[in-house]
Chain A
């Protein structure tokens, strides 16, 4: 396997060719903000938080989908990136109805973490207050579309890891939402195995266990990575 060397925020990293800038950053212990990226799942590059600057390229590129190249010089933090990331988060907070105070994921929410990481304490854009619903029809889990940021981790984990493809995105643009089955109540979808992987994959409080109340959702996100590696490498011990 060939190895390429590159610089991430001035740190030299050597990593297998074909890896992503995101993986290289992890190797270099550089934290890159992200929401749609989850180790073990395919990448979609949709949240745009992980965009980085690469010397010699005049476009911002997402770290999760950009392959490493020999001699790359990557900057993950700059005033411009910080400013743009903050705006992305402001847009996300304005788009849904994110009320941390009563959210199951309060204190354990990646959206919240990202807001803190980029210093977003309020949104300069007006809140849209969309009329969205919660679906508690499943016996064990619930989905509250108010808190969904459309990262599609649930869609991917259900399709790629569990193989049930309960979820998909329907509609378009601002009306996009996560749909179960034929836009049925989640509890009515035959394909659901109630495995709970989407609960663990969800970065916010959108998908949760039904008995969880404020701040009680403590997602085990590493579990998916563990599961993927367990299957690939036959290592069933964490």
Chain B
């Protein structure tokens, strides 16, 4: 008898979602779906507000990566003012985003995902978390926590708060970087480099050994990749233009402007999820599947442009023997990006202009329609506002990184479920470790569901087994 397994909600991600695993008559997996079941109304309740508030409002979508929204909102605001922001303001915004990528990736790797790698897929779920990691490998855990703290502290030193620092504003940023803060960052950089190198070495070792098979199972499929690249084709996180590449490394589209996103990005809707399904319109839905985020950014750029990071990028490409197309390698890509960020931060700290106090351009409303883009830890983030003559928001569209990986995430859970779950008989439980692997497939993308659905909710776990006739067979909850 066929049935469905539902994992609801998925743990160790930001937000609330569930996975349904559909079993066929033989107890094998026929399909699996990743549902996002929260809903929030950000796009709606921004209407009528001054555009200057958008950074503050949209940052509240998420407590993990508010900086991404701050930047996208500020950049959209810049375009409404139609100003060029002072050079130092741009550098400081970059600094904050680099710090944010660092802290978010550190959180994803050390706190959320490494317990699976280091303690084992099938280890006791009660200990398969950052606290278990502290018990098992206190030095690594502490280093990871301090690396995240480094990123957060840089954000705090710029914006006066660790989260929701309303510091980026249309026209620039609110306060300059103090010499004291610059010095603090310089002092903490070496330790941060050490930590990321330690993690890289550890993880690379596992990819050659314990985690070798996962690469072929966790989202290994061809797709497009999208991300920002600099004018010179280098890795980019703040500005530049959009580029699509395919699994063979060909450039499918280049020099795309975020202003024209509606021309190449479509958004499909499925009745079983509040999360929209963006796709690359020239290829249609669902063939226009593309991935964004750390791995995509590394795939679309020609090179990173930083010595150490480029060495690691080459290593990744060698490992994949071309374009890395397994989503399991997002974890690796994240570590490479942390290294990239640290190198960029180092460079910015050496820039004498970085502490300049000219950080804000003033202007009135000059443009009524604007799109801003930034690279969030999880991928490309678009903010699109239409305002009236006075700058009150008339409509908002937010295209969130996680949503763009929605098709890929669904494909990944199906792939994993089919690999690990076989011949489940009536009344028979699925081994917890298998379910954990299915969840881990989602965690590769480090999804931020709060962002992507603009939703509110808690994050316990709910698994359902549903038969082919649609009847619920068993349920499991995790609080």
Name A134's contact: one of B49, B164, B170 (CB within 8 Å). Answer: B49
A102 touches B390 (CB 8 A): no
A213 touches B364 (CB 8 A): no
Separation of A133 and B60 alpha carbons in the complex (Å): 21
Which chain A residue shows the least CB distance to B77? A213
A102 touches B53 (CB 8 A): yes
Name A211's contact: one of B55, B57, B164, B362 (CB within 8 Å). Answer: B362
A102 touches B391 (CB 8 A): no
Separation of A35 and B170 alpha carbons in the complex (Å): 32
Name B166's contact: one of A135, A136, A142, A213 (CB within 8 Å). Answer: A213
B392 touches A210 (CB 8 A): no
Which chain B residue shows the least CB distance to A136? B390
- Residues of chain A within 8 A of B55, CB atoms compared: 213-214
Separation of A216 and B362 alpha carbons in the complex (Å): 14
A143–chain B nearest beta-carbon distance, Å: 11
Separation of A179 and B174 alpha carbons in the complex (Å): 32
A46 interface residue per 8 A CB criterion: no
- Residues of chain B within 8 A of A58, CB atoms compared: none
B157-202 at interface with A (beta carbon < 8 Å): 164, 166, 169-171, 174
Name A136's contact: one of B56, B170, B391 (CB within 8 Å). Answer: B391
B48 touches A213 (CB 8 A): no
Separation of A210 and B56 alpha carbons in the complex (Å): 15
B273 interface residue per 8 A CB criterion: no
B48 touches A210 (CB 8 A): no
A101 interface residue per 8 A CB criterion: yes
A132–chain B nearest beta-carbon distance, Å: 9
A137 touches B56 (CB 8 A): no
The answer to whether residues A102 and B56 also contact, given A134-B50, A213-B169, A214-B166 and a CB cut-off of 8 A, is yes
Which chain A residue shows the least CB distance to B168? A213
Which chain B residue shows the least CB distance to A208? B50
Separation of A101 and B55 alpha carbons in the complex (Å): 11
- Residues of chain B within 8 A of A187, CB atoms compared: 390
A139 interface residue per 8 A CB criterion: yes
- Residues of chain B within 8 A of A102, CB atoms compared: 53, 56-57, 60, 166
B35-66 at interface with A (beta carbon < 8 Å): 48-50, 52-53, 55-57, 60
The answer to whether residues A134 and B392 also contact, given A102-B56, A102-B57, A214-B53 and a CB cut-off of 8 A, is yes
B391 touches A101 (CB 8 A): no
Separation of A212 and B55 alpha carbons in the complex (Å): 12
Separation of A185 and B391 alpha carbons in the complex (Å): 14
A136 touches B392 (CB 8 A): yes
A40 interface residue per 8 A CB criterion: no
A184–chain B nearest beta-carbon distance, Å: 13
Separation of A105 and B377 alpha carbons in the complex (Å): 31
- Residues of chain A within 8 A of B53, CB atoms compared: 102, 213-214
Name B56's contact: one of A101, A133, A211 (CB within 8 Å). Answer: A101
- Residues of chain B within 8 A of A101, CB atoms compared: 56, 60, 164
Interface of A is mostly: loop
A215 interface residue per 8 A CB criterion: yes
- Residues of chain A within 8 A of B171, CB atoms compared: 211
Bits for A76-106, please: 1 = Cβ < 8 Å to B, else 0: 0000000000000000000000000110000
B350-399 at interface with A (beta carbon < 8 Å): 362, 364, 390-392
Separation of A216 and B170 alpha carbons in the complex (Å): 13
A102–chain B nearest beta-carbon distance, Å: 4
The answer to whether residues A212 and B48 also contact, given A102-B57, A136-B390 and a CB cut-off of 8 A, is no
Which chain A residue shows the least CB distance to B81? A211
- Residues of chain A within 8 A of B169, CB atoms compared: 211, 213
A134 touches B48 (CB 8 A): yes
Which of A137, A142, A213, A216 has the most chain B CB atoms inside 10 A of its CB?
A213
A139 touches B364 (CB 8 A): yes
A212 touches B164 (CB 8 A): no
Separation of A214 and B48 alpha carbons in the complex (Å): 16
Separation of A211 and B360 alpha carbons in the complex (Å): 11
Which of A136, A210, A215 has the most chain B CB atoms inside 10 A of its CB?
A136
B19–chain A nearest beta-carbon distance, Å: 33
The answer to whether residues A216 and B174 also contact, given A101-B164, A102-B60, A134-B50 and a CB cut-off of 8 A, is yes
B184–chain A nearest beta-carbon distance, Å: 23
A127–chain B nearest beta-carbon distance, Å: 14
Bits for A199-238, please: 1 = Cβ < 8 Å to B, else 0: 0000000000011111110000000000000000000000
A133 touches B364 (CB 8 A): no
B52 touches A215 (CB 8 A): no
Separation of A212 and B390 alpha carbons in the complex (Å): 14
- Residues of chain A within 8 A of B364, CB atoms compared: 139, 210
Which chain B residue shows the least CB distance to A186? B390
A132-161 at interface with B (beta carbon < 8 Å): 133-137, 139, 142, 144
- Residues of chain B within 8 A of A216, CB atoms compared: 174
A137 touches B390 (CB 8 A): yes
The answer to whether residues A211 and B52 also contact, given A101-B60, A139-B364 and a CB cut-off of 8 A, is yes
Which chain B residue shows the least CB distance to A185? B390
Which of B52, B57, B60 has the most chain A CB atoms inside 10 A of its CB?
B52
B52 touches A213 (CB 8 A): yes
Separation of A31 and B302 alpha carbons in the complex (Å): 65
Which chain B residue shows the least CB distance to A137? B390
B48 touches A133 (CB 8 A): yes
B164 touches A210 (CB 8 A): no
Separation of A142 and B49 alpha carbons in the complex (Å): 11
Name B50's contact: one of A136, A139, A185, A215 (CB within 8 Å). Answer: A136
Separation of A214 and B174 alpha carbons in the complex (Å): 11
A204–chain B nearest beta-carbon distance, Å: 15
A213 touches B390 (CB 8 A): no
- Residues of chain B within 8 A of A133, CB atoms compared: 48
- Residues of chain A within 8 A of B52, CB atoms compared: 210-213
- Residues of chain B within 8 A of A213, CB atoms compared: 52-53, 55-56, 166, 169-170, 174
B166 touches A215 (CB 8 A): yes
21 A-B interface contacts by CB (under 8 A): A101-B56, A101-B60, A102-B53, A102-B166, A133-B48, A136-B390, A136-B392, A137-B390, A139-B364, A144-B50, A185-B390, A187-B390, A210-B50, A210-B391, A213-B56, A213-B169, A214-B53, A214-B55, A214-B56, A214-B166, A216-B174
Going nearest first, the 7 A-B pairs with the smallest beta carbon separation are: A214-B166, A136-B390, A102-B56, A214-B56, A213-B169, A213-B52, A137-B390
Known: A185-B390, A216-B174. 4 other contacts (CB 8 A): A142-B50, A213-B52, A213-B174, A214-B166
Please give the residue numbers on chain B whose beta carbons come within 8 Å of chain A beta carbons, in ascending order: 48-50, 52-53, 55-57, 60, 164, 166, 169-171, 174, 362, 364, 390-392
